[in-house]
Amino acid sequence: MRSLLNDFFSLSERSRLHHRTWLNRLLASTLGFFMVASVSAAESRAEQATLQLPVKSELLVLDGTNAKDLDFKVEANGPISLTNVRHQIVFQLSDTVTNGGDRSRFTSKPFVLTFHPATGKHYSIDVPNLRDIRQAEAFNNNPTSKISLKDDKGEAVPYEFAILPSKGIQFGRNYAADVQKFNRTNSPAAASEFSGMGVFAETNTGFANATQNEETYGSAANKNDEANISASMLRYWFEKADPKTRKAFVNWAREQVSQ
């Protein structure tokens, strides 16, 4: 009996030690995973660039997505994290300015700014301080020369800029949809990757609509480079398309040439 009890206790002790060893290994593995994940997250944050919008401004669209639909929250007056690829920011200014002896609410036109940030850099969009309605309206009519993009050293950074076209007063405007149309134009600030054309075209009509609203959106276009940019866009979307869509486009193109 004593021998059996000794064997039982010995087995229990070995089992307890085995489970303790297994638990220690599990804890070590788990801690190691979280340490690696934390380091990776920190490195990822360090590699990201940030962009500071002007004070009293509102982000409308980022890379083709309405600000309210982004999968992360953009804090008021907080920096926007950007990766090392081309980005397109659509924003507008909104502030109270003097108008004679009164105070008026001024909201600028929507502005489109496209640029390619460098890893780990901080950027800011600078605009003049608008005190009265006359300054605000002058800025609204000619913002291009009054807006600048600077890095964390205060040095000017190259970018493309345009005013997002609009027709009259629009309530509940879907800015992302308008930006997609704008991105199908030849404006230097247009970014075809955010044009909403995930495939080249499903039908002939769909492809033809890639140049829709040219009267509205063509005002921002650089006409001198129109042919080169159009050819580049055609090539880009043709390479993105699947074989079926490519064939449909080729047939459509032949029909256009023969007309």
**Distance separating alpha carbons of residues 210 and 186, to the nearest angstrom:** 11
Q: Which residues contact 177 (CB under 8 A, 6 or more apart)?
A: 196
Q: What does the pLDDT read at residue 47? A: 76
* Mean of pLDDT values over 228-256: 68
**Distance separating alpha carbons of residues 121 and 139, to the nearest angstrom:** 28
Lowest mean pLDDT among 72-76, 140-144, 206-210: 206-210
Work out the percent of the chain whose per-residue pLDDT is above 90.
Answer: 46
**Distance separating alpha carbons of residues 254 and 259, to the nearest angstrom:** 9
More confident residue, 166 or 26: 166
* Mean of pLDDT values over 168-184: 85
Extract long-range pairs of 236-240: CB within 8 Å, 24+ residues apart: 236/192, 237/192, 237/197, 237/199, 237/200, 237/201, 237/210, 238/200, 240/199, 240/200
Q: What does the pLDDT read at residue 155? A: 95
Closest CA to 48 of 69, 72, 32, 76: 72
More confident residue, 218 or 84: 84
State the pLDDT confidence band at 24, using cuts at 50, 70 and 90: low
Q: For the chain, report the end-to-end CA distance as a whole number of angstroms.
A: 104
**Distance separating alpha carbons of residues 148 and 124, to the nearest angstrom:** 8
pLDDT in tens, 88-139: 999 999 999 998 888 999 999 999 999 999 999 999 999 999 999 999 999 9
pLDDT in tens, 145-156: 999 999 999 999
Task: Give domain limits for the chain.
Answer: 1-47, 48-258
